[in-house]
Structure 1
């Protein structure tokens, strides 16, 4: 492997590492009194301001390409769902359910892009769904349904991430800076709106309660996560542009390893045989989907 592909792989691995370990600072923020919705709002607002300062022209194309607002909404809901789920739920279950995303992509591409699924695609869909049933099924549950809010949020986040990828494909003709601003701005806008509505409904504590807390307890985590997410986005753009879709997907799957090892080691997850087997099926289905996409691209 030459130096440039190696750098691309390392860039993608860094992106996977950031997201695979993001659960820990998010839980530190939650312990300091900052609910995941407010934490997401703070982190992505700061990142959006930095990105706007670096690339102010990113906002200029929203009038010409109003579909960027749909990308903003999908990306924002992805971050809300994932961050909330990984903060309050079992990290391994959340990450595995989130990676059902290729299944959602298959169904969304059929609906939005008119791409009819092949027999192989339907077999991969079946494999992934069996994996999800194993992950969701516990000895206490009579039916393999989502157990609690984190499970539901993880599934919704994976769906929104698939929708984000569909919009990225449909908006590939737009400037990269506009797409980046839409994704980070969506994380900020949607988190702020959802946090305000959830606070008004009494679902989460009000932000004003943070006045009694020491800002030094949570500000470093907000700054660190904002910087980490910005760097991870740049590394994703660098790596994905230089490697095949299959290689990119394989490297990005290391997020499952980073999240699983770190959460089990720190006691934030319990790795059972059902989760391991079901997770393996979900990951395998995702890798097979990326391989099929690569073969179709090079055909």
Structure 2
């Protein structure tokens, strides 16, 4: 067989393989679109995406976070018609009901009831990690923001200590700890020493670009050891990647860098990666599992 013929056959084989891959990817996108559309359009709660953090969180806080994300309200009140009966409402609509001895037990019990009900019709995302400890040794690893499973935040973590100094005790914010916990313990600390001194601006840019492209919802914290000029550069570079920045602290000023994370985009990305990545694990609503069978 001549060399030219071998080359031609090899090229044709590669074209067939590429066509199969493109067709498979197209079929996957169609399947994702069909599943997401079916879940979203089913009713008033189809757009709910419930995020469960790694740290132990009360069911009421978990539900409150999901409701707040959709700009709705969550209330638990005592029934006027039945003794020891409480009702959970989502924006005025009754969602769960039961008998409890007090309001605290009612919040927990009704929230558990509601979450179990929502598992039938809504996507759930379990956060596998909340905190990334960035050191000089692991800073340049490309998987730091996309694939590595990190250690969950604890009382020894920087994020925990920062919030503790502000009076936080570990739950949600607010009188009933009803506030969103998702953004409390998800920090990655970035210090100047870890980046090194060689071409610092390039390393900062690469760090921000990697963060912007990742599925992570971490908040980057650039430490106080960056100079004023370097902090100005961080603000400008972050804006190029549509990231939000904020200066915090007094003399020892730090910069937080974050992004608006669309939960449904995370759902779609997780579906593309088989339902799981280094940060999240996806639960498909049981009523729609048949749409995701291959």
Higher helix share: 1
Q: Quickly name the TM-score band, shorter chain normalised.
A: under 0.3
Higher strand share: 2
Relative to the length of structure 2, the TM-score reads 0.23
Relative to the length of structure 1, the TM-score reads 0.23
Higher RCO, 1 vs 2 (CA within 8 Å, ≥6 residues apart): 1
